[in-house]
Each structure stands twice: as structure tokens, then as C-alpha cells.
Amino acid sequence: MPFIPSAYGFMRVGVAAPELRVGDVDFNCAAICRTIEEAAGQGCFFLVFPELCVTSYSCGDLFLQPLLLEAARHGIRRIAETTGRLHAVAVIGAPLRQDGRLFNAAFFLADGRVRGIVPKIHLPNTMEFYEERWFTSGREIRGRTADWFGEAVPFGVDLLFEAEGREGCRIGIEICEDLWVPAPPSAALAQAGATVLVNPSASPELLAKEQYRRDLVRSQSARCLAAYLLATAGPGESSTDLVFSGHSLIAENGTVLAETERFRFDSQLAVADLDLEKLLGERLRRNTFGAAASPHPYRVVPFPWQEQEAVDLRRPISPTPFVPSGEGERTRRCREIFALQTTGLAKRLFHTGLDRAVIGVSGGIDSTLALLVTAKAFDRLGFGRQRILAVTMPGFGTTGRTRNNAEQLAMELGVELRTIPIEKAVREHFRDIGHPEERHDITFENAQARERTQILMDLANQVNGLVIGTGDLSELALGWCTFNGDHMSMYAVNAGVPKTLVRYVVSWAAETEFSGRAAEVLNDIRDTPVSPELLPVDAQGENPQHTEREIGPYLLHDFFLYHAVRLQFPPRKILLLAEQAFGKEFRDEELRHWLVLFYRRFFSQQFKRSCLPDGPKIGSVALSPRGDWRMPSDACVELWLTELKQTADPASS
């Protein structure tokens, strides 16, 4: 379904490595104009081209030829006319002769005109580079103009370009070597408000330079909380002593969104949708960014922006933002999570002087991870695992599969196992409060959860141990826990791990930390449907209660949680991203239904998060009231639900 990217905070941009010939300005300009047209056909109206691409970077002493410089001037004028015809914006590299000096410059073209010219500051003059032979540094040029066919055009290193009517679209320019120095100009540009940093570059290719270049662009975009667009000269440059690859990149806050193929002689183009709203949000969250003022004043040059509808979103949208897609990275993530959990618990045990732990094990995925963490923490401290008391507390809904898995795992891990059935105590409690046992309502369910917590707490007092919590981050977000039941513990090791990631950590543990029968049990637990098992089993002994049928797939809720809490996105944007990520798996109506439920539960269940037990922060999303998330328990959800309603019925907005 078509949408207006700017309405959701997006801006479609491109980096290009056009087909070039050394010194052939007409050929080069024609290739650049064709690339602008190709990009416009993809809905991309902002493009960055390489350093000195109008003439080519490797002209050498030909840069001193007036004929070449005059041809470049007219070539820029021709490219500017193309931007006017297509309502495009482009940053083009070309030489500029001004006041008897020659500058390696970037021309900002929009609406058929040169809107500003930025000279290169750092001119490399070592090894294969000889730029000081021809060019003058623009380091001191501020507040100046250049004569451009009789028009005074802003000229200097103090320029920022701002799109009219586009919040957060402020563009800063540095050129090639400017990025490679200890203090790149882009840092000051970002501090002055630039969210999009562009770099027309030449950067010849060398062995292993590709990854270094990628890491440099990624890290600078992360350091500046910005997008970074690097356009690099292609193999059409001179190969007298060097080879150029055309490796161009688009990065955003530490993530590479798109890049061109290297060593192609035809024009290369990479396009991506930047999330300017996300960048602005990150800067608001990072108070140290706002406190770092720019060391220089900047002139802001406005330029017109015309946007069209888009039919797709040109950026990777992971359906599992907490879970890396690559197996290697996922393995590293799981190892790190396990280390954080075990270290946090070991510190708490060491501090309290306790060498006993009590944990309720159900045969479910969460209590399993908590038990594994506890076992490894005891190993690290040199405590015997037999000092861990694992307690199974079968109730009305406990199935043979989960009970058997809990018992088998405890036996394989070498922990003490105690079985304490709760049916009798809960029935007595029902009689005490006058609740019919056949009424399977929330009281029926919560009474079992609270009975189990009471047993664990009293056992901990009895053995002088610590009750280990089992609830995960996703359950806390939805409030899918019983207040003063499984909601409470003495240390909550899973409180920072979302449900989608819990499964992967258990799978990783089965493969790397445990073996034999223990690994088999862990794999079966991983494959068991999520359920609190609080309703009576059916005639076949099967569990009729499946959590995800009631509250929706955790796959979706973790997606919603990440974008609502970590990125602070509004509901309509989360819905758009969900449609992009899950369009083949869920209907739009389903996504909207579960997103409404997510918001209702997230707001209404804050009171449970306001009194959480201690637990280690694991990732960038945490809901501890002492750490990352401070929200009043009586906040209203209507504003968020109204926006979702308006996306379903635009006439109501």
C-alpha cells in the first residue's frame, strides 16, 4: 500500500558510483544525469556522488588546465538543470577555481541551482596522494560566497543544508580524507544539528581496506547519532598506480543499510530509507549528545523538497529485533546474555553470603533458563549444585510432559529436587474464601500462582537461600504474571531477556554448555508450547491453555516492545513496520488487533513493573523502575489507541 515516507519520519537517499572516464567531463556528466534519473525512478530524490566525479579524481596535473576547469563548471550547471527537471537534490564533487586558488569541492544542487559549495579541509599529501600539489584547504573559509555564473553562492566549511518542511532533515558535508582524521568535521556538523552526513570520496582500494572503510562509516554514524552517506569513485578512474572500486555505503547510527557492489565499470547505485525520526529520538534520549555544543557557528541554507509516494520500505526490518539473524552473531549474543545473568546472580549470592538457592521449575522455557543460570552461577562460585533446591509444584493443569521434563532436568543437573503438590492447599484456600472450584476464572488461576510463590519464599527461609525469579521481559511488558505470585522473587535473572530470545539461549545452552540427556530434555522444553498450565487438563491429559492464543504471538509482542520502548515510535509507525516485517505471515487486521492489545496491557500493567525485584539489565530494553523505564502506573492509553483507530479509519482523523 503506498505511503508518504516523510509522514513516518523516513527519507529515501542514495549513494552512487557512476561510470567515469578520466578527464571526459561530457561523458561523466551524462552518466551522473542518467544515475539521477534512475534513482528518481526508484523514488529517490537525494543522491551523493563521489569526490571530483565531474572530472574524475585521478586527473593529476590536468587539474591545472583551464580547459578542464571550465568544462567542469558547465558540467555542474548541466547536472543542476537535471535536478531541477526531476525535483531532485544531489551532492556532486568537482574542482572549483575561486580567487586565484583551486579547491576540491562538493556542490549542493537542488531545484536546478547550486545552493552551496563546501571545500575539502584535509588534503592528503603522503604515499599515493598529492592533493596539496593542486588544491588549497578550505579550513579557514567561513561566511564567504563564491561567484557562480554571476550569482553569489554560499561557500565555506560552515554550511548546513536544511530541507524546507522536513523536520530533522539537516545535511552536513565533509569530503573523503575529512572522515579519516582524528577529529572529523562531521562531529561538529552533527552537534550543529546535521542528521544526514554525506561524504563524496575517492578512496582507492587496497587489500583489507573494504572492511576498514565499512567500520569507519558505521562507527562515525553511531558516534554522531546520524546517517552517513559515503560515495566512492569507481574503477573508471586511472589505474596508472591505483585501483578504485566504487564501494559506496549508507549507514545509520551504527548499522549499514545499503552498499554498492565493488569493481563494476557500469554505474552503481544503492538506495535506502533513512529514519530521521529515529535519529532525532536517539538524540533526545542521549543527554550527553545535547550537552555537546558545536565549536563553530554554521550558516543554514534552505532547499526545496518534493516528495512522492512510496510502495515499499527500502531498509531492513527485522521481525526479531532482539534476535540476530546470523547464526554466528546469535551464538555470541546468547553467550553474552548467559554471562551477564550468571555474573549478576553470582554477585548477589556473594554479597548476601548465601550458598543456597530455591527455584520453582515447571518444565517451561523460563524456569528452565533460570535453573541453567543458577547452576552455572553456583559452578563459578565453587558451590555444589546439590545446594540448589529445585521445586516442582504440580497443580490442576500440570501435564505429564512438563512435569517429567522438570524432574529429568533437575536430575541431570545434579540439583536437589523436591515435589510439593498444591491441589490440596489451593482447594482449602478456595473453601476459606468461598470460591467454587469449578469456576475457572482469574481467582482460580492466581490462587495457584500465589500458593507456589508462598512455598518458594518459605522454603528459602527454611534453607537460608535466595528465591530465583523466572519471569522474562516480555511477560513483564504485558503484565502476564500474577501480582505477588510469579511476579515476585528475591533475584529475577530473566527480567531483561525477552521471550523470543529465551528460546535461543536455551537452545544455545543445549548445544554448548550441556550435553547428553540434559541437552535432549532442553530441546524438548524449547519445543513445548508456552502455557502457565493453570486450567485443568482435558480427558487426554493435555493442556487446554496456550498463552499465545490468549494474548497473541510473542514474536509480535517483542517486535512491538522494541519499537515502542527502545525507539519510542508512535503506534502508526510500528504498525507500518510490522506490515513490512510480517506481511506474509499475518493479515493487517491481525497486526492491528494484537498491537491494540499490547498497548492496553502495557499501560494497564505498569503497577506490576513499579515494584519489581532486582534483576540484571541485559539489553537496550529494560523495564526496571530503578533503571531504564519510569512510567506512572495510572498513565492513560487513549492517545495511543486513538492514533491506531485513525490509521484504520483515516476519515476520523
531-550 pLDDT, tens digit per residue, is: 998 999 887 777 788 899 99
Tell me: pLDDT of 652 over 70.
no
Cβ proximity of 488 and 396 under 8 Å = no
Strand order in the sheet with 491-492: 416-419, 388-392, 357-360, 466-469, 491-492
Out of 204-218, 278-292, 561-575, 625-639, pick the least confident: 278-292
Q: Please give the average per-residue pLDDT across 606-623, as a whole number.
A: 95
Predicted pLDDT at 306? 78
pTM: 0.91
Predicted pLDDT at 2? 66
Q: Please give the average per-residue pLDDT across 353-368, as a whole number.
A: 96
* pLDDT 10s digits, 179-230: 999 999 999 999 999 999 999 999 899 898 999 999 999 999 999 999 999 9
Given the residues 176, 224, 334, 481, the one annotated as active site: 176
Tell me: pLDDT of 621 over 50.
yes
Predicted pLDDT at 651? 53
CATH number (1.10.630.10, 3.30.1340.10, 3.40.50.620, 1.20.810.10) of 327-652 reads: 3.40.50.620
- 120 annotated active-site: yes
Q: Please give the average per-residue pLDDT across 47-51, as a whole number.
A: 98
Predicted pLDDT at 653? 46
Within this chain, domains 7-302 and 327-652 share the same CATH topology: no
Domain boundaries, the chain: 7-302, 327-652
- 307 annotated active-site: no
Cβ proximity of 366 and 494 under 8 Å = yes
Predicted pLDDT at 544? 82
Backbone angles phi, psi at 252, to 5 degrees: -140, 115
DSSP secondary structure, 61-74, as one string: GGGG-HHHHHHHHH
Tell which residue, 302, 371, 13, 309, has the closest CA to residue 164: 302
Q: Please give the average per-residue pLDDT across 144-158, as a whole number.
A: 96
Given the residues 19, 53, 59, 120, the one annotated as active site: 120
Of all residues in the chain, the percent with pLDDT exceeding 90 is 87
Out of 155-169, 310-324, 339-353, pick the least confident: 310-324
* pLDDT 10s digits, 62-90: 999 999 999 999 999 999 999 999 999 99
The band of 5, judged by pLDDT with boundaries at 50, 70 and 90, is: confident
- 176 annotated active-site: yes
The band of 14, judged by pLDDT with boundaries at 50, 70 and 90, is: very high
The band of 650, judged by pLDDT with boundaries at 50, 70 and 90, is: low
Cα separation of 256 and 252, whole Å? 6
Give the chain's mean pLDDT: 94
Cα separation of 631 and 610, whole Å? 8
Given the residues 33, 44, 51, 307, the one annotated as active site: 51
Say if domain 7-302 classifies as CATH 2.120.10.30: no
Cβ proximity of 367 and 476 under 8 Å = no
Helix or strand or coil: residue 632?
A: coil
Cβ proximity of 399 and 533 under 8 Å = yes
